[in-house]
Amino acid sequence: MRLRSRAMCPTLLSLLSLGFYVSLRNWAAVGEYEKLSLSAWPSPVVPLGQTVTLQCHSHSPLERFRLFKRDGKRRLPELQGDHFNNFTLGPVTGEHAGSYTCSEAYWSAPSDPLQIVVSGVFKKPSISAHPGPLVQQGDNVTLRCHSLVMFDKFILHHENSTGHFQRHGEMLTGGYAPADFSIGPMTLVSAGTYRCYGSLRRSPYEWSAPSDPMDIMITGLSKKPSLSAQGGSMVRSGENVTLVCSSESAFDQFHLLREGVNLGRHLAGGQSPRRALQAEFPLGPGTPAHSGVYRCYGSFTRSPYSWSNSSDPLFLSVTGSTTSTCPSTMDPHTTEEAQLSQAHSSTWYIVLGLVTAFTSTSIILAALVCHWCSTQNHVAIMEGEPMEARIVNGEDSIVTISPFGEML
């Protein structure tokens, strides 16, 4: 805190020129405190390698400020001085993490400290929701943060629909124990996106990377939509599958889930003959992996964490012979946003599996062909075939010519 007084430093000349008005003003300001404040833009939690701008706020915008990093109560040597109110730090490293203050002059009282956290110093922890991410208003929800890194502390952050980002809580842990944060009973204010971070006692302002986001949605505040499959819920393998979620409420987006896994959201598009709003979810050519229980929800863009009641479940069954067991995710051009990570990762596993299967099959085939070729060569040589008859076609395959001139 700082006494709002200009009269402490100026020269006699300036005092004289400012005259009576200033002295009156200073007299009036005696005992009135102005607090400097320090803020960070875009956020006090800065990912490793990015920059952050610290701004010192005061009522006198043309004043020059000084920035200090603090170590407990001790003020470390001045970091950057004689700036206007902006200081840019970075690209940040762990060294930038800590507590900062700014002051207007050497003798003025500093601002309240601002903690600058550098995130991404350790591997991200995992986060899970119990009983799940879709809850009714008033339900108790527990978020569990867990890591294979031995953190001393987990920090839970919450971001709501207005983009407001704040620390929700922190919890000391021991060993590899998870931290359970109770965030219920749920209301529209506590719904939102949660992430957790881990940190160590010896450097509390260096955090791990954020966990994957966990969206906690409140459901049941509006009427359920209805879900149907174009052409029926019994589908032959290979037939195009399109699910349609529709509602007479004016939802502007719909969400589709299979077995509780969010497949993504679509904006409400055309209207059905009964003038209900609807969204189509094309799942592509059906495979048995598309079989399962589907549900959809409606919501409004202005309140993204409040979903309608769940539609009645739709049991989709894809039958028939399969040429491919690759479960396609939804069309990426029409599927918006994240939450497809699960579907994506399973697709990746399948692609990986197919590649592995293909590679090993090729290796076995190649081995068989080689073995067979060498046998043939052997036989040819045994039969007195001249070596010149073996044509090496430059690359990798060996063509042998039988004594009768046929290509084998």
Ligand X SMILES: *[C@@H]1O[C@H](CO)[C@@H](O)[C@H](O)[C@H]1NC(C)=O
Would you tell me which residues interact with ligand X (CB under 6 A)?
41, 53, 55, 84-86, 138-140, 160-162, 164, 184-185, 188-189, 220, 222-223, 240, 309
C-alpha–C-alpha distance, residues 191 and 220, integer Å: 13
Contact between residue 206 and residue 97 where contact means Cβ atoms under 8 Å apart: yes
For residue 126, what are the contacts with CB-CB under 8 A and spacing of at least 6?
Answer: 145, 146, 147, 211, 212
Residue 137 Cβ, how far from ligand X at the closest point, in Å?
Answer: 10
349, 300 Cβ separation under 8 angstroms: no
User: Could you tell me if 399 and 391 are in contact, meaning their C-beta atoms sit under 8 angstroms apart?
Assistant: yes
Q: How far apart are CA 387 and CA 376, in angstroms?
A: 13
Among candidate residues 229, 205, 204, the one with its CA nearest the CA of residue 282: 229
Q: Where are the beta strands (DSSP E) in 272-362?
A: 277-285, 292-299, 306-307, 314-319
Find the angle CA(391)-CA(394)-CA(400) to the nearest 5 degrees. 25
**Residue 363's closest CA among 352, 374, 355, 353?**
355
Cα torsion angle, 210, 214, 216, 222, sign: positive
Name the 3-class secondary structure at 63.
coil
Secondary structure (3-state) at 221 = coil
Q: Which two tokens stand for residue 83?
A: 């700036």
Phi, psi of 224 (to 5 degrees): -65, 145
**Nearest alpha-carbon partner for 312 in 243, 252, 225:** 225
For ligand X, give the closer residue by CB, 129 or 200: 129
In residues, how long is the chain? 408
Instruction: Pick the closer one to ligand X by CB: 125 or 133.
Output: 133
Chain-centroid distance of CA 382 in Å reads 67
- Do 145 and 211 form a contact (C-beta atoms < 8 A)? yes
Q: Which is nearer to ligand X, 121 or 217 (CB)?
A: 217
